[in-house]
């Protein structure tokens, strides 16, 4: 997959996340991309003799090799890496969270008094809890498996050309 195609696919996934009200996932990925990744670089530093104004420069300055120092610097993600980040975020936020819901449904269904819905409390104080129907969870399992399969296929396609 070319870099241009990776970027097009990533933008479409981002658009899909926003359409499905997963703006927070798209925003988190965008922030990570904006921050970039850190790369450790080894830099060789040479010791320079200190000169004062009254000293004449030596005829042939001798430089000693100093130990190599390690520095971190920010590097931009490649389009392929940006797409991989988006795929991983989608898997964690949608598929993994959906599977937690399925397991929660299995746990609740073993109880004698089965509720009709579960309220998910938001992290923010100013928003109301989001209800989720217990009866809809098993139907979502098929879709989650399909999404996981499609994302794995996409990841395979992205990494195939990178190696």
**pLDDT tens-digit map of 11-22:** 999 999 999 889
Q: Pull the structure tokens for residue 80.
A: 């392929």
How many alpha carbons fall within 13 Å on the CB side of residue 160?
10
Partners of 119 in the β-ladder: 131
pLDDT 10s digits, 64-86:
566 677 888 889 999 999 999 99
Euclidean distance between CA atoms 71 and 42, whole angstroms: 6
Euclidean distance between CA atoms 48 and 67, whole angstroms: 13
Neighbouring residues of 96: CB distance < 8 A, sequence distance ≥ 6: none
Domain ranges, ordered by start, for the chain? 3-43+75-162
- Please give, one letter per residue, the 3-state secondary structure of 41-66: EEEEEEECCCCCCCCCCCCCCCCEEE
CB 79 within 8 A of CB 6: yes
Is the pLDDT at 56 greater than 60? The verdict is no
Least trusted range by pLDDT, from 38-47, 48-57, 68-77? 48-57
Rounded to two decimals, what is the model's pTM? 0.70
Give the CA dihedral 29, 32, 33, 39, nearest 10 degrees. Answer: -150
**Range ranked top by mean pLDDT from 36-45, 95-104, 113-122, 150-159:** 150-159
Question: Helix (H, G, I), strand (E, B), or coil: what is residue 21?
Answer: coil
């Amino acid at each position: 997959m070319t870099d241009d195609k990776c970027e097009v696919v990533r933008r479409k996934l981002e658009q899909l996340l926003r359409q499905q009200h997963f703006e927070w996932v798209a925003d988190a990925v965008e922030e990570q991309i904006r921050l970039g990744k850190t790369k450790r670089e080894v830099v060789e530093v040479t010791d320079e003799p200190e000169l004062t104004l009254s000293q004449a420069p030596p005829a042939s300055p001798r430089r000693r090799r100093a130990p190599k120092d390690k520095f971190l610097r920010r590097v931009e993600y490649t389009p392929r890496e940006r797409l991989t980040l988006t795929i991983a975020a989608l898997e964690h936020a949608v598929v993994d969270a959906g599977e937690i819901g399925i397991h929660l449904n299995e746990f609740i269904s073993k109880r004698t008094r089965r509720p009709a819905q579960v309220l998910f409390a938001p992290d923010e104080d100013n928003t109301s809890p989001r209800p989720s129907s217990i009866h809809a969870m098993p139907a979502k399992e098929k879709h989650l498996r399909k999404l996981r399969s499609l994302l794995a296929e996409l990841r395979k396609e992205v990494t195939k050309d990178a190696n």
